Structure formats: C-alpha cells, structure tokens
Structure 1
Amino acid sequence: MKRLFGLVIIALILFIIYYDLSKGTLPITIETTTAAQVENTEQENVTVEMDYFEKEVVSGDTVLSIIESQLDSAIPVSIQEVINDFSSLNKGISVEKIQIGKTYKFPNYANLHE
C-alpha cells in the first residue's frame, strides 16, 4: 500500500512539473506585452512640444555627448528621459540607430540647467 501511495505521489509531481513547463500557470509575459503596447500607443498619440536643436552627427558622437556639448556640463535630467525625448522628437528613432552624416533633433535642456 505504501508503494502504491508513493507511486501516485511521484506520478502527480511529475504531471505537475510537466504541466508547469509545457503550458505554465502564470501568463505574465502576455499581460506585460499588452500593457507595454498600450503605453506605446498612448505615447505616440501625444504631441511633443519641447525645445530642441538640430545637429548633424559625426563619427564618435552619441546622443548624450551631443547634448552635453550643447550644455557644456552634465545633463540635468535622467538618461531614460533623454532617450524618450530624443525618440519622440525623431519619430521613434532609437538612440542606438543614429547614423553618421544625418541631422537629428536633440532635446535642449539649457533652460532646465540654469
């Protein structure tokens, strides 16, 4: 009787492990993706009106280095805010995707720095 009970418990545990690994019990990734898509859609609908300057990118430039050279000091906002502002000014272009020789709009934080 003890053997039968032990086999049933082992079979139940193996079934639970199989079910959890194959189908899962917490679909967190689906909900997170949906929430992220809704947030991105809301951000695209907002009209951005902020101070900016245009500059042509040369070899070795990064978004942060260009903004710091414009300010002649450290950036007064978070890096994530700089990334979001740059992306919204340039129709969703990622900061990693800037190309040498092209002109982009960069957020101007000079009035925040004073």
Structure 2
Amino acid sequence: MRRLSLFIIGLFLCYIIYYDLQIGTLPTVNIISTTSTQAAQVEDKSNPSISFYETKIKQGDTVLSITEHHHGRLPTSIDQIVHDFESLNSNVQAEEILYGQTYRFPDYN
C-alpha cells in the first residue's frame, strides 16, 4: 500500500510539473484597450514624426509591458522606447506613469 501511495504521489508531481511547463499557472494578461484604432502622427523635434496609440493604464502596467503586449515583443531598444514615450508625453517620466491615466505610446509598425 505504501508503494502504491508513493507511486500515485510521484505521478501527481509529474503531472504538476508538466502542467506548469506547458500551460503555466500565472494569470494571463488582459488585452490592453486602445482608445484610438488608427495610429496618429505627432511632430517632434528629435523625431520628425512618431506614430502612436493611446492606452489607459491599468494596475501593474509599465511602459515596456504595454509596448511589448502591443507589438508581441520589444521592437527596439529599451532606451529608444523610453525616449519616444517621454517625447510623446511631455512632462511625464516613463517610471512615473499613473494608474487610470491615458498616455501616448510609440507605435513601431
């Protein structure tokens, strides 16, 4: 009986490991709602035209996570994304975005 119990526990542990590796137990990311369906153009001194999309910040969002979710992966360097975000949103630091506010994010498509 003891061997059977250990065998069942071993199978259960193998199933748990398989499930974590294949499906995962972390919550899925909700689709970020964009307020503009068309990418708009804005004039900037350092970049002649940066296309952007607007997104309302949800709890736990960062500039990089929103950009990565929109593009599937980071399309350019982190420094470039932060620079473009700060140039689109005057007087806003990338590290200090506020929950519930709507910001412009660079669109690299």
Whether these two folds match at TM > 0.5 is yes
Q: Shorter-chain-normalised TM-score: which range?
A: 0.5 to 0.7
* Consecutive unaligned residues in structure 2, runs of 5 or more: 1-43
Alignment TM-score, normalising by the size of structure 2: 0.55
Q: Give runs of ≥4 in structure 1 deviating > 4 Å.
A: none
For CA contacts below 8 A with separation 6 or more, give which structure has more relative contact order.
1
Aligned partner of residue 50 in structure 1, secondary structure: strand
Give, in angstroms, the shift of residue 86 of structure 1: 0.2
State, as a whole percentage, how many aligned pairs show the same letter.
40
More strand by share: 2
Which residue type is aligned with residue 82 of structure 1?
I
- Equivalent residue number for residue 76 of structure 1: 75
Greater C-alpha Rg = 1
Give RMSD over aligned pairs: 1.6
Distance in structure 1 (CA, Å) of the matches to 2:84 and 2:75? 13
Alignment TM-score, normalising by the size of structure 1: 0.53
- Equivalent residue number for residue 84 of structure 2: 85
Distance in structure 2 (CA, Å) of the matches to 1:50 and 1:56? 19
More helix by share: 1
* Consecutive unaligned residues in structure 1, runs of 5 or more: 1-44
